[in-house]
Chain A
Amino acid sequence: AQTVTQSQPEMSVQEAETVTLSCTYDTSESNYYLFWYKQPPSRQMILVIRQEAYKQQNATENRFSVNFQKAAKSFSLKISDSQLGDTAMYFCAFELGTDKLIFGTGTRLQVFP
Chain B
Amino acid sequence: KAGVTQTPRYLIKTRGQQVTLSCSPISGHRSVSWYQQTPGQGLQFLFEYFSETQRNKGNFPGRFSGRQFSNSRSEMNVSTLELGDSALYLCASSSAVGGTYTQYFGPGTRLTVL
Contact = CB atoms under 8 A, between A and B. Distances in A.
Given A42-B107, A100-B56, A103-B42, A33 B88 contact: no
Contacts, number: 59
Interface string A93-104: 001011111111
Interface residues of A, number: 23
Nearest to B37: A43
A43 B108 contact: yes
B43 to A, nearest CB: 4
B104 A47 contact: yes
A102 B45 contact: yes
In this complex, the interface size class of chain B, counting residues with CB under 8 Å from chain A, is 20 to 34
A102 B42 CA distance: 10
A103 B92 CA distance: 14
Contacts of B110: 43
Contacts of A20: none
Contacts of A101: 33, 35, 43, 45, 92, 103
A56 interface: no
Contacts of B94: 99
Contacts of B102: 33, 35, 47, 50
